């Protein structure tokens, strides 16, 4: 199995602070990873490294077989889908939802715009349908709720057919119904053989979509546990990572956790 992401002894230092410390981690193409850890643990920083948006201070990052720092990152980034809150802020409020999704393809296939136009339109319609956005295509991005915006960001990332999909807190700030329906869409997406390797950052084990295979726990910039979900999501590992006694349960493919008394 080919690895799509390989971090070797990665440290990341900013303003004298060691944000990541000796992180080594491999993601294979059939993997669906979740990264969990307290606020400030370094989760989003790992996604930024995986997206080739930044360089490690020490160690190496290989994404899709290319060593970050040695290749044209603009070319590499077109092969990576990233849905993160800081990107959503760059989408103009007056842009129509259909265009937000469609233009993701033009960033990749710009030169062939004329030739691929109908193909792209069909693909955009298909992606919007899969992510429950079909009814919103003529609305402007600025008028959407937080939950709808999350879906648009993911759909935009899916549209480019990435070889690696990175999701930073896709279910953050969603209400219960919106969260459950997003998890269903994510589970559907993750279960497809055509889907790329996926790495999703979240704060809650309840937000792990069924079908996800691996977990990394991170605290203070260090990996506290990483590997197959069932081996990593134990009371002990979660308690150590979050610094409070926790009890974790798995039922019908879903996880939950609460304080242990
Ligand atoms: N440029 C920077 N200079 C100094 N510190 C930084 C910089 N960028 C990030 N940090 C710090 O690095 C730590 C890790 O940040 P990161 O955003 O990766 O955490 P996170 O695990 O995603 O947290 P959250 O759960 O709150 O999103 C934080 O303490 C943050 O303040
Ligand atoms: Mg974060």
Q: What's the rounded mean pLDDT across residues 110-118?
A: 56
The larger pLDDT score, comparing residue 1 to residue 111, is at 1
- Binned at pLDDT 50, 70 and 90, residue 168 comes out as very high
pLDDT at position 111 over 50: no
CA angle, residues 209, 162, 11, in degrees to nearest 5: 80
Substitution site in 16, 17, 18, 82 for ligand 1 pocket (most atoms within 8 Å of beta carbon) = 17
CB atoms within 10 A of CB 61: 23
Q: What's the pTM value of the predicted model, to 2 decimals?
A: 0.93
User: How far apart are the C-alpha atoms of 74 and 89, rounded to whole Å?
Assistant: 20
Residue 213 belongs to domain spanning: 3-259
pLDDT at position 209 over 70: yes
CB < 8 Å & 24+ apart, contacts of 112-120: none
For every residue of 158-226, DSSP letters joined together read HHT--SEEEEESTTTT--HHHHHHHHHHHHHHHHSTT--EEEEEES-GGGPPTT--EEEEEETTEEEEE
Q: What's the rounded mean pLDDT across residues 204-215?
A: 97
Give burial (CB, 10 Å; 0-12/13-18/19+) of 74: exposed
Q: What's the rounded mean pLDDT across residues 178-193?
A: 93
Q: Which CA distances in Å does 221 have to 14, 106, 168, 232?
A: 12, 36, 17, 17
User: How far apart are the C-alpha atoms of 11 and 249, rounded to whole Å?
Assistant: 33
Identify how many contiguous H helices and E strands the chain contains and give both numbers: 9, 12
First to last CA, the chain: 43
Distance 39 CA to ligand 2 centre (A): 7
> By three-state DSSP, how is residue 52 classified?
coil
Strand partners, 259: 246
* 16-47 confidence digits (pLDDT tens): 999 999 999 999 999 999 999 999 999 999 99
Region of poorest pLDDT, from 32-46, 69-83, 93-107, 196-210: 93-107
User: How far apart are the C-alpha atoms of 20 and 27, rounded to whole Å?
Assistant: 18
Ligand nearest to the backbone CA of 15: 1
**Averaged confidence pLDDT in the chain:** 91
- Copy the structure tokens of residue 144: 């959407």
* Number of independent structural domains in the chain: 1
Substitution site in 43, 84, 166 for ligand 1 pocket (most atoms within 8 Å of beta carbon) = 43
Q: What is the pLDDT of residue 107?
A: 62
Instruction: Look up the CATH number of the domain holding residue 209.
Output: 3.40.50.300
Q: What is the pLDDT of residue 136?
A: 95
pLDDT at position 109 over 50: no
User: How far apart are the C-alpha atoms of 22 and 12, rounded to whole Å?
Assistant: 9
Q: What is the pLDDT of residue 105?
A: 72
> By three-state DSSP, how is residue 126 classified?
helix
Atom of ligand 1 nearest to the CA of 221: 14
Ligand 1, residues at Cβ distance < 6 Å: 14-15, 17, 19, 37, 39-45
């Amino acid at each position: 199995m080919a690895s799509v992401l390989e971090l070797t002894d990665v440290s990341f230092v900013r303003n004298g602070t060691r944000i990541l410390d000796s992180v080594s981690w491999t993601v294979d193409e059939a993997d669906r990873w979740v990264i969990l850890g307290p606020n400030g643990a370094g989760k989003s920083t790992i996604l930024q490294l995986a997206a080739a948006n930044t360089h490690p201070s020490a160690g190496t990052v290989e994404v899709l077989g290319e060593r970050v720092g040695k290749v044209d990152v603009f070319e590499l980034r077109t092969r990576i889908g990233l849905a993160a809150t800081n990107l959503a802020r760059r989408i103009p409020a007056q842009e129509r939802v259909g265009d937000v999704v469609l233009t993701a393809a033009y960033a990749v296939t710009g030169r062939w715009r004329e030739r691929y136009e109908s193909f792209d339109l069909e693909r955009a319609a298909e992606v919007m349908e899969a992510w429950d956005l079909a009814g919103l295509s003529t609305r402007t991005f600025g008028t959407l709720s937080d939950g709808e915006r999350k879906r648009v960001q993911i759909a935009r990332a899916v549209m480019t057919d990435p070889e690696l999909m990175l999701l930073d807190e896709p279910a953050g700030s969603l209400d219960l119904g919106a969260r459950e329906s997003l998890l269903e869409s994510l589970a559907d997406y993750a279960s497809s053989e055509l889907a790329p390797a996926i790495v999703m950052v979240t704060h809650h084990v309840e937000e792990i979509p069924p079908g996800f295979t691996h977990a990394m726990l991170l605290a203070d910039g260090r990996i506290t546990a990483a590997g197959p979900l069932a081996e990593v999501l134990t009371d002990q590992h979660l308690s150590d990572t979050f610094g409070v006694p926790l009890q974790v349960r798995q039922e019908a493919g879903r996880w939950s956790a609460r304080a242990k008394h």
